Amino acid sequence: MATTDAPAIRLDGLVKDYPTQDGGTFRAVRDLSLSIEEGAFYGLLGPNGAGKSTTIHILTGLARRTSGVAEVRGLDVSRDFRKVRRMMGLAAQEFAFDQFLAIEEVLMYAGMYFEMSRGQAKRRARELLERFELAHKRKERVQNLSGGQKRRLLIAKSLMHDPDILILDEPTAGIDVALRRDLWSYLREQNRAGKTILLTTHYIEEAEALCDQVGIIDQGRLVAEGTPAELVESGSGDRVIVGLKEPCREDPERLAAETGFQVAILDDGLSLVARGGRGGEMAGALMETLQRHAIRVDGLEIKRQSLEEAFVRATGAEIAPDGTIVRRDAAQDRGVNV
Cβ-based nearer residue to ligand ATP, 54 or 60: 54
Residue 277's contacts (CB-CB under 8 Å, 6 or more residues apart) are 237, 238, 260, 261, 285
Residue numbers 52-71 binding Mg ion by CB under 5 A: 52-53
β-bridge pairing 196-201 and 221-226: unpaired
Rule CB under 5 A: is residue 93 a binding residue for Mg ion?
A: yes
DSSP for 85-140, written as a single string:
HHHEEEE-SS----TTSBHHHHHHHHHHHTT--HHHHHHHHHHHHHHTT-GGGTTS
What is the nearest approach in angstroms of ligand ATP to the Cβ of residue 174?
Answer: 13
**Binding region for ligand ATP (CB under 6 A) out of 48-56, 154-162, 222-230, 290-298:** 48-56
Cβ-based nearer residue to ligand ATP, 52 or 161: 52
User: Which of residues 9, 30, 53, 215 is near ligand ATP by CB under 6 A?
Assistant: 53
Residue 206, SS3 per DSSP: helix
**Binding region for Mg ion (CB under 5 A) out of 49-57, 98-106, 257-265, 309-317:** 49-57
What does the chain come to in residues? 338
Enter the DSSP assignment of 191.
Answer: H
Rule CB under 6 A: is residue 21 a binding residue for ligand ATP?
A: no
Sign, CA torsion 90/202/192/119: negative
User: Which of residues 2, 12, 13, 18 is near ligand ATP by CB under 6 A?
Assistant: 18
User: Which of residues 51, 111, 163, 215 is near ligand ATP by CB under 6 A?
Assistant: 51
Cβ-based nearer residue to Mg ion, 104 or 206: 206
Residue 285 to residue 304: CA distance in whole angstroms: 17
Residue numbers 75-114 binding ligand ATP by CB under 6 A: 93
Rule CB under 5 A: which residues touch Mg ion? Answer: 52-53, 93
Rule CB under 6 A: which residues touch ligand ATP? Answer: 18, 26, 28, 46, 48-54, 93
